[in-house]
Chains A and B, each alone.
Chain A
Amino acid sequence: MHSSARRRVLPGFGLTLGLSWLYLGLIVLLPLSGLFLKTFSLSWAQFWDTVAAPRVLAAYRLSFGAALAAALLNAVFGLLVAWVLVRYRFPGKALVDALVDLPFALPTAVAGLTLTTLYSRNGWYGQHLEALGFQVAFTPVGIVIALTFIGLPFVVRTVQPVLEDIDADVEEAAATLGATPWQVFTRVLFPSVMPALLSGFTLAFARAIGEYGSVVFISGNMPMKTEIAPLLIITRLEQYDYAGATAIAGVMLAVSFAMLLAVNLLQRWTHRRFETRPGTG
């Protein structure tokens, strides 16, 4: 598929190479390296005092915990939605398929406003939940719901193409070998989509950790209780505590990068291991 490193027949190599790196450097790398320099200019004590403060730890716990819960929910329902969209036919399927991307396209603030209003005491959902004794808005549960909303497309969109690509022959082969439909699912189909499911889960998780817009409205922002880490960064900034904001952000950034790396490694690993290389006879 690709031209090899041999001669470059196609034009524009120098131009596009220069332009890509220049723009990437100015817009992304320069600002981000500023953050890293700032992080490293902090003394260890300064850094530790910030990130180990009870309020910050509580915020991390909440951000990571809620993100994990939301990503797990999305893994379960995302797999279900992908399965239903690939395997079954029902009226309105195309519309449903299009709608899955809504959280990608809808501004997070709109999601936050809407979910908060829906789950607040007088909202469509909130009034019924209230009657049952549940409170969702301004609690960690509300945060999980907002994060589930924004992470929803990740699992569906990573699992769906893999599920579509599974060769019908493979399922038939399993059936001729005596496998029941349930065995075909658990032993052949599920393991095949597992790497994609894991990728989607990690992407949803990573996205949820840093999410801000959809959460600030519904979380209530009570220190130690419903205050997420990104909000704490903003609070620090508003107090002109750049060092504190940077320290909190540094930890989050490190975790995000680690997860990005994990996804890449996972994809490479599955590719190397399972992908069919061209038959050489």
Chain B
Amino acid sequence: MHPTSHAPRRNRRLVSGPAPVRWLLIAVALAFLGFFLVVPLVAVFTYALQKGVGAYFDAILEPESWSAIRLTLLAAAIAVPLNLVFGLAAAWLIARFRFPGRDVLLTLIDLPFSVSPVIAGLVFVLLFGRQGWLGPWLAEHDIHIIFAVPGIVLATVFVTFPFVVREVLPIMQAQGHDEEEAALSLGASGWRTFLHVTLPKVKWGVLYGVLLCNARAMGEFGAVSVVSGHVRGVTNTLPLHAEILYNEYNLAGAFAVASLLTVLALVTLAVKKYVEWKAESA
């Protein structure tokens, strides 16, 4: 490309329509978003606190809620690191190498996104359930997967599988690998290059991927619902617990639990915005 003079972009005449149209479009878009996103968001906290702050904390601190929180954290604590390691390895592989089967791998990684959560749960029931492929063998050895914690963890890992790769891969691809090659030429080992050159470049993408993965892991409902068996205090995660409370007409309790998950979602969005801002100012 040749050096050329450019007119400042701010004065370019982009189509935007006359002022009344502009304001009408903005108003309709904001009304739509307000109606669909903002009001429900406000509603979560309003319903959660409708019986007062005391009732709110009682609902969160009761033993069954606590056990749901613990199980949710456990599932996320297993699913997120596993998917993080896989995500980094697969992103490195796909971004840096050309090999037969690369396109297939890329398509298969997205698979859990296109499978209904209910089906994600179903596949594990078919494998490990009482009448599943491995059911009889598991029963013989007294191993419980379905309607037990391992099943919940498996289903969670499955549905959160693509998040880290999906966030990290585009960043790795965009950044190229000149710096890695420079590091290697300077005598750095493969691991050293990865830890000191690659990882710092993609850290914000990794962080956002991890957060999305975590939000989904803690919030997953359909898949976990299928494999959980809804044993109170044993196999209930936070979303399942919220459902039970709701079905018992304990609206304030259900929304108290839901508000925890909502805060998690808001934190995730805030970090996303921060990551984007970081990337733009870099």
Q: Do A and B come into direct contact in the complex, CB within 8 Å?
A: yes
C-alpha spacing A32/B154, complex, angstroms: 13
Q: A81 contacts B180, CB within 8 Å?
A: no
C-alpha spacing A16/B132, complex, angstroms: 32
C-alpha spacing A152/B32, complex, angstroms: 10
Q: A210 contacts B115, CB within 8 Å?
A: yes
CB distance from A35 to the nearest CB of B (A): 5
Q: Is B233 an interface residue (CB 8 A)?
A: no
Q: B268 contacts A35, CB within 8 Å?
A: no
Q: Which of B53-61, B62-70, B136-144, B212-220 is near enough to bind chain A?
A: B212-220
Q: Specify which of B130, B193, B269 is in contact with A102 (CB 8 Å cutoff).
A: B269
Q: Total A-B pairs in contact (CB under 8 Å)?
A: 298
Most chain A CB within 10 A, of B90, B215, B222, is at B222
Q: Specify which of B16, B111, B239, B255 is in contact with A88 (CB 8 Å cutoff).
A: B16
Q: Is B234 an interface residue (CB 8 A)?
A: no
> 0/1 per residue, B241-274, Cβ < 8 Å to A?
0110010000100110010011011101110110
Closest to B95 in A: A2
Q: A27-B158, A77-B29, A81-B32 are in contact. Are A253 and B119 (CB under 8 A)?
A: yes
Q: Is A199 an interface residue (CB 8 A)?
A: no
Q: Which of A44-52, A127-135, A181-189, A269-277 is near enough to bind chain B?
A: A181-189
A residues 5-25 touching B (CB-CB < 8 Å) = 5, 8-13, 15-17, 19-21, 23-24
Closest to A242 in B: B131
Point out the residues of chain A lying under 8 angstroms from B258, CB to CB: 107, 109-110, 113-114
Q: B130 contacts A240, CB within 8 Å?
A: yes
CB distance from A246 to the nearest CB of B (A): 7
Q: Specify which of B37, B39, B239 is in contact with A152 (CB 8 Å cutoff).
A: B37
Q: Is A200 an interface residue (CB 8 A)?
A: no
Closest to B28 in A: A80
Residues of A in contact (CB 8 Å), total: 98
CB distance from A90 to the nearest CB of B (A): 5
Q: Is A260 an interface residue (CB 8 A)?
A: yes
C-alpha spacing A2/B122, complex, angstroms: 39
Q: B40 contacts A118, CB within 8 Å?
A: yes
Point out the residues of chain A lying under 8 angstroms from B133, CB to CB: 34, 37
Q: A84 contacts B126, CB within 8 Å?
A: no
C-alpha spacing A98/B41, complex, angstroms: 14
Point out the residues of chain A lying under 8 angstroms from B33, CB to CB: 81, 96, 99-100
Please give me the 3 A-B residue pairs with the lowest Cβ-Cβ distance, nearest first: A210-B116, A107-B219, A11-B190
- Interchain Cβ contacts under 8 Å between A and B, 15 examples: A2-B96, A5-B99, A17-B93, A24-B108, A81-B29, A87-B14, A98-B272, A102-B269, A106-B261, A107-B216, A113-B243, A117-B47, A118-B43, A253-B116, A256-B115
